[in-house]
Amino acid sequence: MAGSKYAYVRNFELPDPLLPGTFMVFRLDGHSFHRFSDEHGFTKPNDIRALELMDHAAKDLMEQHSDIVLAFGESDEFSFLLRKSAALYNRRQSKIISTLTSQFTSSYVFRWSSYFPDCPLKYPPSFDGRLVLYPSAREIRDYYSWRQTDTHINNLYNTTFWALVQQGGESTTQAHATLKGTVSKQKHEILFSRFQVNYNALDARFRKGSTLVREEISEQSLPTTEELPPTQDLPPSETAAPSPIRMRGRKKPRTTIVVLHCDIIKDDFWDTRPEILS
Ligand code: ATP
Ligand code: ATP
Ligand code: MG
Ligand code: MG
Ligand code: MG
Ligand code: MG
């Protein structure tokens, strides 16, 4: 573009490329969700609608960016792993952070009414985003172990806290005091002896968070052409991907994004999915 006499100000915009060949972890977190969850009547300790909405926004982001190979979410946060070779936006840091944060936030708002049909948004929610580079698979493993351990610690605390308040009749101040200085074994004990709750039997979604990965759609599990209804009878939306007919002749196997609530600290999750850290 031809420069006006003002165009020199452009030179003050400095490049901000990210080191090549390193893993990127992009984490976003809801801004003041303590307040946002109160104002929108989230169920305590875990509002499943809110968690599923987070998962859906994360899935939307993965669908928009094939470089995202893994996502892990809990509460109001999500951590996305981008492969070492990711070249999106020429690895410009501010472009990546601002665009991903904006896309996630906009999905969250766009899908809000599907998950909270009876509760219109009272004000626009927002998220902060940050990006950290890690040199090797070891740090990535430890990063995700750190987040899942956090999920466990927070959920055990919150579950016990809200049992004391909702079933034990304690005020929030009392419940904080009751739990002050307790170790995890004591919280399990309070839950079990006072409220007959076996913590380990609670929904894995709450205990383990949400892990999103891409899984190959196996051709065998798809119906053969003969079993399929004629394509012309289907409205356009139903012929959209993943369609087994369109799959024929493709080189790359089709994948779909799945939401798991499993352990990602032990080796098994990673050993069975070597492509994530490749
Ligand atoms: P900040 O802006 O610093 O992140 P915050 O208020 O968002 O402040 P967080 O540490 O991110 O603080 O904690 C998020 C809070 O949002 C949780 O403590 C919880 O109160 C609430 N929250 C988020 N998701 C849910 C959910 N699914 N169910 C119930 N409460 C939730
Ligand atoms: P990028 O993602 O690189 O910013 P872009 O398509 O948004 O790509 P821009 O240079 O930002 O490209 O230009 C924005 C374009 O959006 C304009 O060229 C114009 O076509 C369209 N646009 C934006 N606002 C309006 C508007 N108010 N009325 C009509 N067209 C608009
Ligand atoms: Mg915070
Ligand atoms: Mg937050
Ligand atoms: Mg948070
Ligand atoms: Mg633009």
State the sign of the Cα–Cα–Cα–Cα dihedral 83, 84, 90, 92: positive
For residue 231, the model assigns a pLDDT of 46
The reply to whether 8 falls in a domain is: no
Question: Is the ipTM here above 0.90?
Answer: yes
- Dist. CA 104–CA 245, nearest whole Å: 31
CA of 235 to the centre of ligand 4 (A): 41
- Ligand 1 pocket test target in 28, 75, 156, 205 with most atoms within 8 Å of CB: 75
What domain count does the chain have? 1
The reply to whether 204 falls in a domain is: yes
Pocket residues: Cβ below 6 A from ligand 1? 29-34, 37, 42, 44, 46-47, 50-51, 75-76
**CATH number of the domain enclosing 183:** 3.30.70.3000
Domain containing 181: what range? Answer: 15-211
The reply to whether 197 falls in a domain is: yes
pLDDT tens digits, residue range 43-100?
999 999 999 999 999 999 999 999 999 999 999 999 999 999 999 999 999 999 999 9
CA of 129 to the centre of ligand 4 (A): 11
Tokens 């990602």 map to which residue? Answer: 264
CA of 29 to the centre of ligand 1 (A): 8
What value does the mean pLDDT of the chain take?
92
The reply to whether 53 falls in a domain is: yes
What percentage of the chain exceeds 90 in pLDDT?
A: 85
**What's the token pair of residue 114?**
């599907």
